Structure 1
Amino acid sequence: MNKVETIFHPVRFKIIQVFLDGQSKTAKMLAKELKDIPQASLYRQLDALVKAEVLIITEENQIRGTVEKVYSLNKPAANLSNDDVKEFTKEEHLQYFLFFTAQLSRDFETYLSDDDIDFLRDGVGYRQVALHLTDQEFLDFAKDIGKVYEKYMQHTPASKRTKRIITNIMMPKKEGDVEHE
């Protein structure tokens, strides 16, 4: 199984998302967060993620005759590089992009299912902006965003902190595309 197939499997993708907060977790902790995944499937997919080195086992604790494993995300292995995707066909890129956006839609639908939603209070939003940048200005912009992410990714979970998922999709507007005003 290649890296892309490992990451973009629906259940494994959900498991990886739980680790985006940088915290280590046991299978029991994951089962509490991922209630819709049957236990046998959860263990099978954890094993696949460990074999692919997307997750690493950071501890093994002896508990009543069994070993409880503690998992952490191996961030470099969980991110797709340019080399990982450069051989994709257009159809494969579209397939994986649609999977990615479907997962976003499912997360947003879950948010909307709450009886008490308030975009401002909850920090929810979606928007699209156009920036006119040279290639170098775009590289600088991307580096700046990376620095901001790094700064705030240092925060660990706490009672007053809410886990927020931030998603960026960047693409150039091709010449000949119709501008909508």
Structure 2
Amino acid sequence: MDDSSIADVVMHPVRLRIIQQLGGRSLTTAQLRAALPDITQATLYRHVATLVESGILSVVEERKVRGAVERTLALGDRMAHVDQAELRAMSDAQLRSAFLAFLGDLSADFDRFVDSEDATLRDFVGFGRVPLYVDAADLAAIQAGLSELLAPYLSQTGDDGRRRVSLATVLVPEPELPSAAD
């Protein structure tokens, strides 16, 4: 496994999109290509190789298809998540770049949704913003509660009529406003 930071590996826009496609499910390389049609095959394979080498993706199955080996991929043992220590270690420029990669991927997902011919998808879309007043302990409790709430929905359990949706969260602390006395 490569010792580079997870942030260095996953914060490339193509790699981020590959990881998002695999979250909670296993896909063959052919299925990945179909899910990401705007990425050339050579580019996709190069980024998949980087993600496998770093331990972020793992090959869960290999089988012969017309003389070639088709791999089935899933998220690997090394979580594809940038932790707080890595976020703190990023420069301002790296942090901005990582956030823009995240927003770009989210925007591309939204564009694909809007361009879809499936009118029923609108039943599953929503977005909003709400201010929260928290301290570090409150935030940890919210994150633990969300993890527990979402756990049953994080993996594909077969064809039970459930649709895959993407839930994106962003926490942006607001700087303190100057007091009226300043």
Q: Does the pair score TM above 0.5?
A: yes
**For the structure 1 residues 84 and 150, does the alpha-carbon distance in structure 2 shift closer, same or farther, using more than 3 Å as the test?**
same
Q: In 1, are the aligned partners of 2:13 and 2:102 still within 8 Å (CA)?
A: no
**For the structure 1 residues 177 and 54, does the alpha-carbon distance in structure 2 shift closer, same or farther, using more than 3 Å as the test?**
farther
What is the CA–CA distance in structure 2 between the aligned matches of 1:76 and 1:129, rounded to whole Å? Answer: 32
Report the TM-score, using the length of structure 2 for normalisation: 0.84
Counterpart residue number, 1:172: 173
Report the TM-score, using the length of structure 1 for normalisation: 0.84
Q: In 2, are the aligned partners of 1:157 and 1:163 still within 8 Å (CA)?
A: no
Alignment-mate amino acid for residue 161 of structure 1: R
Aligned residues: 176
Counterpart residue number, 1:19: 22
**Match for residue 110 of structure 2 among 89, 100, 108:** 108
Q: In 1, are the aligned partners of 2:12 and 2:101 still within 8 Å (CA)?
A: no
Deviation of the 1:122 alpha carbon:
2.4
Deviation of the 1:116 alpha carbon:
5.4
The within-5 A match list for 1:23-42 is 23-42=25-44
Note the residue ranges of structure 2 that are not aligned, 5 or more in a row.
Answer: none
Deviation of the 1:75 alpha carbon:
5.8
Identity %: 28
Deviation of the 1:109 alpha carbon:
1.9
Deviates more, 1:150-159 or 1:67-76: 150-159
Q: In 1, are the aligned partners of 2:6 and 2:81 still within 8 Å (CA)?
A: no
Q: Counterpart of 1:77 in 2: which secondary structure?
A: coil
Alignment-mate amino acid for residue 17 of structure 2: K
Q: In 1, are the aligned partners of 2:29 and 2:71 still within 8 Å (CA)?
A: yes
In the alignment, does 2:95 pair up with 1:70?
A: no
RMSD in angstroms over aligned alpha carbons? 2.4
Note the residue ranges of structure 1 that are not aligned, 5 or more in a row.
Answer: none
Spell out, residue by residue over 1:86-128, the C-alpha distance to the aligned partner (whole angstroms, 9 max, x if none). Answer: 2111222112112211221222122122355467x52211111
What is the CA–CA distance in structure 2 between the aligned matches of 1:117 and 1:145, rounded to whole Å? Answer: 29
Q: In 1, are the aligned partners of 2:27 and 2:74 still within 8 Å (CA)?
A: yes
Q: In 1, are the aligned partners of 2:57 and 2:74 still within 8 Å (CA)?
A: yes
Deviation of the 1:167 alpha carbon:
0.5
What is the CA–CA distance in structure 1 between the aligned matches of 2:27 and 2:59, rounded to whole Å? Answer: 10
The within-5 A match list for 1:130-169 is 130-158=131-159, 160-169=161-170
The within-5 A match list for 1:1-16 is 2-16=5-19
